[in-house]
Structure 1
Amino acid sequence: MTSVAPSIMLFAAGFGTRMGPLTKTCPKPLIKVAGEALVDHTLKLTRGIPHTNIVANTHYLPDMMCDHLQPLGVQVSHEYPEILETGGGLRAALPMLDTNPVITMNTDAIWAGPNPLSLLLENWDPDRMDALLTCVPVAQAVGHNGPGDFTANDSGQITRGPGLVYGGVQILKTDMLNAIPEKSFSLNVLWDQMMDRGTLHAVPYPGRWCDVGHPEGIKLAEDLLADV
């Protein structure tokens, strides 16, 4: 455990194509679950931890995102003319982020249990880790049908494989981003490099989690919240 008050990066630029007609006129982070926008559920988690600033990237329907986020004190990193994916988007936002490491958060998940950000900070060890991902055991991932994204050893180091689903929340060092030549790229590129170094780790989430990536996920997430 280390004492850190990181910056927070929200990924909010995507097109939300799996949502079908729901995202034709509304960006996915503003879709409501239990009466609140998905991004507001995400922002609630940030209130429980020490942090400096919060930055969100935008691309699709950016005016709607800015109108929602800026009154909440969230800075906006607008990606134009092209969308930069998670890795490129994080790198483009680095001048706005106050710290290294940073926390990154997807804005399309609902968590039922302890604050995943608190878990990250309690388990973060920068001497051993370049990134620490909050991962959900498959049995606790509501509506998830796949085998998982990662397999962990007894030390918490992870490699590609079944067992754990990445929950979309992590803390990571950003130093290695500048060596990636592509402008638009996924953070999977960075994770693969960290796996080769043995510095990619996971903390298992003890509660339940729901990815709201498709219309059916809205009802599943609302049922999950109703059970809390």
Structure 2
Amino acid sequence: MKNILVAEDDIKQCENLKKMLYMIDAEFNIHEAQDKDQALKISNNVHIDLFFIDISLKNSSGLELALDLRKISRYEFSWMVFLTTHVEYLTQAFKQAHCYDYIVKPYDKDEIISMIKKFSAHAKNNSVQEKERKSVFLDLKSGVSMKFYIDEIIFIESSMRTCIVNTIRDSYTLKKVSLKNILKLINCNYIIQSYKSFLVNINYIKFIEKIDSRLSELYFEKSSKKALLGYKFKNSVLEKLKGK
């Protein structure tokens, strides 16, 4: 955990918090923002590991900032800590923005040290787990590749040398690539072909609905989209499902 964003419109309070954070680790990269727009700009340019957000910001509330950050896929589950002088206003923040904790002003050094240690321990555990997870890099466009965790892929659909990768977070378009090549790159026993134009993750299959004697539809957990199951692939898919 290295990049921290402090969204605080009180310059003095911001400096106090920064001093305490640097006392914990002088190598922290601490970014400052006084309003929502500035905070979002920084967050889009730099991957932030931990957010400290004042519940009251210039021209907006900290809650509005937090909700906008949650709409960005990489910050959907990021650590957010609210800064406030009024604890009674935090109920909405916890319910809507799913913040992890809060700090009451003026800041207490021991409380912040304890909190940072807790987050650092979680970050270390998550880093180890991510290294152990199987992933693949796929080209979104010329010169741009994206890392996909294979256990987050729900299904992949192919059409005219374009593939749509549907994950638990979003859908991504890959140009000039075939399902056959993607299947080789993934090389995973729970991602299998279900139709000439579909690869599916059997772990997300919720149920199968028959359309006719040769074709069925696959419904998934964590997605409202459907994939096709052809008669040539039906037995292999069912065998995989039985072996789960």
Please classify the TM superposition score into its range, dividing by the shorter chain length.
under 0.3
Give the strand-richer structure, 1 or 2.
2
TM-score normalised by L of structure 2: 0.23
TM-score normalised by L of structure 1: 0.24
Q: Which has the larger radius of gyration?
A: 2
Larger relative contact order (Cα-Cα within 8 Å, sequence gap ≥ 6): 1
